[in-house]
Structure 1
């Protein structure tokens, strides 16, 4: 049996998944080595879903220490985890989700890693990191054919951004088999349809004020979902403050976010007087709403499965979770 071939135990365990997306896709998942950067509330949801999908290995890179707040919202932590390394503390419950997956904890700082570290994985999933590191990782991924996706939850707002490069996929489509009909109606056949989705590099997607990047390719879209600019505002806030908005400094943080949004609107030539965004939208970007973490965790894990297996069309390239309507929106940015 080859390294990527499923064992009898794996075939039995993943039986329903194999029925859903086929043995070939499951074998590709079986060979996948995944890096998850930061395993907080959102990260734990992502980890759960990709572990259950049947990957080969999961490396958890997180230098954080368990706080009381984190303990309350991360279901992979135990009652006595406070004050300990979060990457190590999640291992026991994470491994119990799927004993067949190899799981490793790395307690180094993600920013301290040499670029060569990131090229050893099939796909990298990141949360809670700043733009300079995102762009650094994306550059390595593109040079080594590694898929990359990142996302975050701010209150009830959430997003993900993917760079799967030139991604080849296939999907099964049901078609009518000619004009021949039976007593049950027209005969149908399932055919495999192949395609390619071309993703832009992240430096063409995450264009922020006070950089030398050219935003013209994004300005061309006159119907850009304005939640994209909220995403950029929150990313830039983290870049400036090295943290997420905090309830302890809510008033000041909202003012900072509003100032950042004005700069972003100016960069993208958005008329703020015509904006349809809720005036109080920054009131609901504090903390991490656990149900939203579950939703985005499912979306990101689904995209990981698509990226690795090559089955079904992935999101190209931004997913936005509306904090008011709770709808998911897809945007293609930077293409």
Structure 2
């Protein structure tokens, strides 16, 4: 990705951001072409934040139709949007957030796309996808050196998983300049200097992070961590539920869905050699629907990770973020 020099209008619009993370980082953002798969409750929050950051272009890929329920939890939609293509209906309000960003909609099914479709993006964000397709996209991204992040909201629980490849980034660190002695013997006070320090995080591919029952991947490298966060296993349980049921848990089918979730949870914990008490069944009561405030929080987190990944400014999460459905706090896990 080549950096794009900012125009005078852009420099003025993004002045506060440039003061925060510097002109070089803003120019990297301004050159970024981003694909967002899924523009539902969570996707709309992600879109808002990355549009405001000042990227070059955003393609929204979603083949869904706006329902009354969807319209109520997506601030980019209006009542007039019901029954229409969601990817097209979000464009008007999305564009208004930042007229300088090129935004386009693709209403075809994500799974209908071949590998070449994904090749021209700087980073890809995915929501609402089944696991096999997530892993397929990650494989394509790795072959083309494209960064990838996926996330979802289930009730008051949410998560994100990132594969930023071999990610180099810069952090500002304050360095003290040594005292200097003058000719008269007096010493000057030490001065502070801000310097950029380069670091690197090597991310594992997603098939070493998301390992579900009936796959051929070994889980031994994950089992080595004795105190793995219990919400990591909740994430896997929900992904496996979506894979099997081809939908998310539905409040109208709550009792049956909880039984299925309990069965899957048991399989997941057995696979990883974890005591069944590690993941309380009571948590399964909290995973229904897309709760708007949780979408807002997680959407902000994912967008911030996208900004870090593109701008090369500050350390991103390595590599799993889990939103606690009980305390509403975030937890970072290094998996794989």
Would you say the 8 A contact 2:168–2:201 is kept in 1?
A: yes
The answer to whether the aligner puts 1:205 opposite 2:209 as a matched pair is: yes
Matched with 2:169 is: 169
Q: Find the aligned partners of 1:138 and 1:96 in 2 and give their Cα distance.
A: 31
Q: May I ask how many residue pairs the two structures share in their alignment?
A: 331
Give the unaligned 5+ runs of structure 2: none
The answer to whether the aligner puts 1:284 opposite 2:286 as a matched pair is: yes
Would you say the 8 A contact 1:180–1:187 is kept in 2?
A: no
The answer to whether the aligner puts 1:77 opposite 2:81 as a matched pair is: no
TM-score with structure 2 length normalisation?
0.96
The answer to whether the aligner puts 1:245 opposite 2:270 as a matched pair is: no
Of 290, 297, 300 in structure 2, the residue corresponding to residue 298 of structure 1 is 300
Matched with 1:308 is: 310
Q: CA deviation at 1:179?
A: 4.6
Spell out, residue by residue over 1:15-34, the C-alpha distance to the aligned partner (whole angstroms, 9 max, x if none).
00000000000000000000
Change (3 A) 1:100 1:256: same
Q: CA deviation at 1:85?
A: 0.2
Matched with 1:236 is: 240
What RMSD in Å do the two structures reach over aligned CA positions?
1.6
Q: CA deviation at 1:177?
A: 2.0
Matched with 1:113 is: 113
Matched with 1:330 is: 332
Q: Following superposition of structure 1 onto structure 2, how do residues 99-138 of structure 1 map, counting pairs within 5 Å? A: 99-138=99-138
Spell out, residue by residue over 1:272-294, the C-alpha distance to the aligned partner (whole angstroms, 9 max, x if none).
24x2x443100010001111100
Matched with 1:47 is: 47
Change (3 A) 1:208 1:184: farther
Of 180, 194, 198 in structure 2, the residue corresponding to residue 194 of structure 1 is 198
Would you say the 8 A contact 2:179–2:189 is kept in 1?
A: no
SS in 1 for 2:238: helix
Matched with 2:67 is: 67
Q: Find the aligned partners of 2:263 and 2:326 in 1 and give their Cα distance.
A: 22
Change (3 A) 1:184 1:333: farther
Spell out, residue by residue over 1:147-199, the C-alpha distance to the aligned partner (whole angstroms, 9 max, x if none).
00010000000000000000010010112222569999752111111011000
Q: Following superposition of structure 1 onto structure 2, how do residues 178-193 of structure 1 map, counting pairs within 5 Å? A: 178-179=178-179, 186-193=190-197
Moved more, 68-77 or 170-179: 170-179
Matched with 2:266 is: 262
SS in 2 for 1:162: strand
Spell out, residue by residue over 1:45-98, the C-alpha distance to the aligned partner (whole angstroms, 9 max, x if none).
000000000000000000000000000000000120000000000000000000
Change (3 A) 1:184 1:288: farther
The answer to whether the aligner puts 1:88 opposite 2:92 as a matched pair is: no
Change (3 A) 1:326 1:3: closer
Q: Find the aligned partners of 2:187 and 2:80 in 1 and give their Cα distance.
A: 65
Give the unaligned 5+ runs of structure 1: none
Q: Find the aligned partners of 2:253 and 2:34 in 1 and give their Cα distance.
A: 36
